[in-house]
Structure 1
């Protein structure tokens, strides 16, 4: 990477970090370019060299987070995951997904929050849906029903995101990546056991 490109990348990163700070302080609606530039320690002219407005910064930040998340989620194989979870072990590719979210915890929490972007949770669900849940169609005749498959994808994507949001909202310092992965595993086993229990 050339020095010019590196400086561009660093300035954009600084502006995106400034956006996270500003959303946390005042909410996205009240963020201004003036405040972003001030928080990033740059002038407005420098801001406009990199972004048109705050919406472009938000889009860039979201896309960056989603791309990184997807790069880990794509390694999750549902059949392999279920097999390993049944033995009570942690499924490493999923641990890596949670690690990615923990590394960017503030950004995910702020954008998913009420002051952030309502569309972001839908985009996160699509990452889980497109990468993990599409591979579930190989399991059983039930999933040949396309309408049922759509609802199952919505249910599972919401469940995965719901647990992650609860973790982020609580302040994840108290719960490690491994502990959250264990909670996910316990939830999946619990649901599995409910369906196989004879009443």
Structure 2
């Protein structure tokens, strides 16, 4: 992987932070490139060297954060990354807590449905992988189970973030694990491969 110049990294970080701060103050649709460049203390030309427009910036900002979350929260070997929201939601809640402003900005901004869609997709993929470990399928429609669990999980995360994290990450993880134990076969919760 080519090494990125520290100045470029600092500039991109300043731009990303400016966007996130602005999104916590107003709607994404009302944010201009001028707003972002002023907040980042850069000129517009510098911003355009890194991003084609504010939508490109938003897209890359979301992908960057979700990628870092995946790295932080995965319990697998490199190349086999998956989120395990069933057995290990604590890592995700700790990550959300550490990056609260970003997640609050994304989940509170009504025009940013692409973020929630990407988060649900990431969670769904993790649940699908976990369900593959189940030995007894019982003929259940796993597609419905996956959709239900992913939507419920992201809905709970959204509630927690928007309400300024009223419970600790540990409490949230334990409560979700308790709920999953009630609705899922024990082989999925414990992992039939000895995970």
- Between the two proteins, the alignment pairs up a number of residues equal to 176
- In the other structure, the counterpart of 1:142 is 138
Seen in structure 2, the aligned counterparts of structure 1 residues 28 and 46 have a Cα distance that, compared at 3 Å, is same
- In the other structure, the counterpart of 2:78 is none
Render the CA deviation track for 1:45-92: whole Å, top value 9, x for unaligned. 11111111101110111001111222244325588x3xxxxxxxxxxx
- In the other structure, the counterpart of 2:110 is 115
Whole-Å separation in 1 of the counterparts to 2:143 and 2:74: 19
Seen in structure 2, the aligned counterparts of structure 1 residues 178 and 66 have a Cα distance that, compared at 3 Å, is same
Shift of 1:190: 4.6
Whole-Å separation in 2 of the counterparts to 1:101 and 1:188: 20
Higher helix share: 1
Render the CA deviation track for 1:151-185: whole Å, top value 9, x for unaligned. 1111010111111111101102x422112112212
User: Equivalences for 1:180-195 in 2 at 5 Å?
Assistant: 180-191=172-183
Aligned residues of 1:70 and 1:131 also touching (Cα < 8 A): no
User: Equivalences for 1:50-65 in 2 at 5 Å?
Assistant: 50-65=50-65
Aligned residues of 1:78 and 1:133 also touching (Cα < 8 A): no
- In the other structure, the counterpart of 1:90 is none
Whole-Å separation in 1 of the counterparts to 2:85 and 2:177: 12
- In the other structure, the counterpart of 1:151 is 144
- In the other structure, the counterpart of 2:170 is 178
Seen in structure 2, the aligned counterparts of structure 1 residues 78 and 164 have a Cα distance that, compared at 3 Å, is closer
1:12 matched to 2:16: no
Shift of 1:113: 2.1
User: Equivalences for 1:164-175 in 2 at 5 Å?
Assistant: 164-172=157-165, 174-175=166-167
- In the other structure, the counterpart of 1:197 is none
Seen in structure 2, the aligned counterparts of structure 1 residues 77 and 125 have a Cα distance that, compared at 3 Å, is closer
Whole-Å separation in 2 of the counterparts to 1:28 and 1:55: 9
User: Equivalences for 1:21-60 in 2 at 5 Å?
Assistant: 21-60=21-60
SS class of match (2:5): helix
Q: Which runs of 4+ in 1 moved over 6 A?
A: none
- For structure 2, the residue ranges without an aligned partner over 5 or more in a row are 76-82, 186-195
Render the CA deviation track for 1:121-167: whole Å, top value 9, x for unaligned. 11111111112333303422236x6xx22111110101111111111
Whole-Å separation in 1 of the counterparts to 2:101 and 2:46: 25
- Pair member with larger Rg: 1
- In the other structure, the counterpart of 1:87 is none
Shift of 1:104: 1.2
